[in-house]
């Protein structure tokens, strides 16, 4: 086992501003190709456990860990003895005696991962829980930094459900000076009140702005970014049988570019063309959604390095 103390990433709120900025800058460096051959995880073992489906995040961490020199052990939802009655706590204790890093996606709140992180031998990374998708926001900010050369002062319009992706974006973007995050979420599907309050506190400190409204009326223009996510968040269902009617006005179409002609389009994927976004937008010239997807690997590498390395990425 690696003798260096483990760092964990369960929530972006666990990071200082300096750590957040450093992770995003490091992700951009990996994305730019300036760190090819960098292998700070050589000799370490990374476990990848996904209890729910994943294409991008699972591939990003698996490929990223191997590119950094780590060996890999992968687990699907039916592979662990949790399914036969072993407690999650016991499973975590075993993991920590064999793995150096555990990347985990669960459908539950993050308490399970925090329990696994109550030791200093194995790093635990939240690859999405029900309440937050922290590594998605790191990929998003890495993409913004690569595309614009800055994050400070950018104006971002987020349209859609206040889900775990939106939570992470609000927690991250509000910590950059002068940024503006305009959230337009369907009635009853906004950010949790505590998250919105915390993001606004960050914004007061940094000079950023975080606003949320539940209508598409009165939308200002001049945004640098238009962002949406799929309406049916992975691993969730909606209790309201008429939810699609509520969400329909929040579809992202080409009309949004009339008042923001220079905006780029971002989507955390997977996308459902004709639902949350039109094909015209997703496949159009403003879309950087697939560059954003690629940057999931680069930001994953930054997180893995930070969790286990005492080198320049620390």
Within 10 Å of residue 117's Cβ, how many Cβ atoms?
Answer: 23
- Write down the architecture of domain 136-293 according to CATH: 3-Layer(aba) Sandwich (3.40)
Q: Tell me how far CA of residue 35 lies from CA of 4, 25, 32, 40, in angstroms.
A: 22, 12, 8, 11
d(Cα 157, Cα 145) in Å, to the nearest integer?
17
CA neighbor of 214 nearest in space, from 161, 178, 267? 161
CA angle 235, 237, 238 (to 5 degrees): 150
Say what the pLDDT of residue 238 is: 86
Give the C-alpha distances (Å, rounded to integers) separating 258 from 116, 157, 214: 48, 14, 21
Q: What pLDDT, on the 0 to 100 scale, is given for residue 313?
A: 47
**Dihedral angle, C-alpha 289, 103, 172, 156, nearest 10 °:** 10
Reduce the secondary structure of the chain to three states and give it as a string. CCCCCCCCECCHHHCCHHHHHHHHHHHHHHHHCCCCCCCCCCCCEEEEEECCCCCHHHHHHHHHHHHCCCEEEEECCCCCHHHHCCCHHHHHHHHHCCCCEEEEECCCCCHHHHHHCCCCCCEEEECCCCCCCHHHHHHHHHHHHHHHCCCCCCEEEEECCCCHHHHHHHHHHCCCCCCEEEEECCCCCCCCHHHHHHHHHHHHHHCCEEEEECCCCCCCCCCCEEEECCCCCCCCCCCCCCHHHHHHHHCECHHHHHCCCCCEEEECCCCCECCCECHHHHCCCCECHHHHHHHHHHHHHHHHHHHHCCCCCC
Would you say the C-alpha torsion 298, 303, 308, 313 has a positive or negative sign?
positive
Phi, psi (rounded to 5 degrees) for 263: -70, 145
Instruction: Determine the pLDDT at residue 106.
Output: 85
Is CATH 3.40.50.1370 the right assignment for the domain spanning 12-133+296-308?
yes
- State the span(s) of the chain assigned CATH 3.40.50.1370: 12-133+296-308, 136-293
- Give the separation between CA 82 and CA 174, rounded to whole angstroms: 38
The β-bridge relationship of strands 45-50 and 71-75 is parallel
Q: Specify whether the backbone of 304 is left (phi greater than 0), alpha (psi in -120 to 50) or beta.
A: alpha
Query: How many C-beta neighbours within 10 Å does residue 309 have?
Result: 18
> What pLDDT is stored for residue 237 in this prediction?
78
Q: What is the pLDDT along the chain (314 residues), one digit of tens a residue?
A: 555 678 999 999 999 999 999 999 999 999 999 999 999 999 999 999 999 899 999 999 999 999 999 999 999 888 999 889 999 899 999 999 999 999 999 867 788 899 999 998 999 999 999 899 999 999 999 999 999 999 999 999 999 999 999 999 999 999 999 999 999 999 999 999 999 999 999 999 999 999 999 999 999 999 999 999 999 876 677 888 899 999 999 999 999 999 999 999 999 999 999 999 999 999 999 999 999 999 999 999 999 999 997 544 45
CB 41 within 8 A of CB 304: yes
């Amino acid at each position: 086992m690696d003798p260096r103390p483990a760092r964990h990433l369960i929530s972006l709120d666990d990071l200082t501003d300096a750590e957040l900025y450093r992770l995003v800058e490091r992700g951009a460096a990996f994305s730019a190709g300036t760190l090819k051959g960098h292998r700070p995880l050589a000799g370490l073992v990374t476990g990848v456990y996904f209890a729910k489906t994943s294409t991008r995040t699972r591939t990003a961490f698996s490929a990223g860990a191997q590119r950094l020199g780590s060996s890999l052990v992968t687990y699907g939802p039916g592979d662990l003895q949790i399914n036969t009655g072993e407690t999650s706590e016991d499973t975590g204790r075993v993991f920590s005696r064999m793995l150096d890093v555990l990347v985990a996606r669960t459908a539950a709140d993050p308490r399970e991962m925090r329990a696994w992180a109550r030791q200093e031998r194995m790093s635990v990374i939240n690859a999405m829980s029900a309440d937050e998708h922290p590594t998605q926001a790191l990929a998003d900010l890495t993409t913004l930094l690569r595309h614009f050369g800055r994050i400070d002062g950018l104006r971002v319009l987020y349209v859609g459900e206040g889900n775990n992706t939106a939570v992470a974006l609000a927690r991250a973007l509000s910590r950059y000076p002068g940024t503006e995050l305009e959230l337009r979420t369907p009635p009853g599907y906004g950010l949790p009140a505590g998250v919105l309050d915390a993001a606004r506190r960050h914004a007061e400190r940094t000079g950023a702005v975080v606003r949320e409204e539940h209508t598409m009326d009165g939308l200002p223009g001049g945004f640098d970014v238009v962002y949406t996510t799929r309406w049916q968040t992975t691993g969730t269902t909606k209790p309201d049988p008429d939810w699609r009617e509520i969400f329909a006005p929040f579809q992202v179409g080409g009309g949004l570019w009339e008042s923001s002609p220079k905006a780029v389009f971002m989507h955390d994927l997977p996308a459902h063309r004709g639902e949350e976004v039109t094909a015209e937008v997703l496949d159009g010239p403003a879309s950087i959604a697939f560059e954003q997807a690629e940057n999931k690997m680069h930001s994953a590498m930054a997180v893995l390095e930070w969790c286990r390395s005492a080198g320049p990425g620390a």
